[in-house]
C-alpha cells in the first residue's frame, strides 16, 4: 500500500498547486484527477489480488 500513499501524495500536491497557481488551476486540477484515478485503480488492483489469493487458499 506504499504505492497508494505515493499516489495520494501526488494528488494532494497537484491540488495544492491548483489552489496557489490561479493561472494554471485547470491544469493542476486535471493532474489531480489523473492521480485520483490512479489511486482508485491501485485500490481495485489490491482487492483483486487479495480476492485471488483467498480463492487460491480455499481451493488448495
Q: What is the pTM of this model?
A: 0.79
Tell me, what's the pLDDT at 55?
Answer: 66
| 49-59: b (≥16 Cβ within 10 Å) or e | eeeeeeeeeee
pLDDT band per the 50, 70, 90 thresholds, residue 9: very high
Q: What is the pLDDT of residue 56?
A: 64
pLDDT tens column, 12-47: 999 999 999 999 999 999 999 999 999 999 999 999
Closest CA to 38 of 1, 11, 2: 11
User: Residue 23's Cα: distance from chain center in Å?
Assistant: 25
Residue 50 reports pLDDT greater than 60: yes
Owner of C-alpha cell 486535471: 30
Amino acid at each position: 500500500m506504499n504505492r497508494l500513499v505515493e499516489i495520494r501524495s501526488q494528488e494532494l500536491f497537484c491540488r495544492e498547486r491548483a489552489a496557489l497557481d490561479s493561472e494554471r488551476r485547470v491544469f493542476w486540477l486535471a493532474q489531480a484527477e489523473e492521480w485520483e484515478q490512479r489511486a482508485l485503480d491501485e485500490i481495485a488492483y489490491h482487492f483483486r489480488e487479495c480476492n485471488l489469493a483467498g480463492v487460491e487458499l480455499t481451493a488448495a
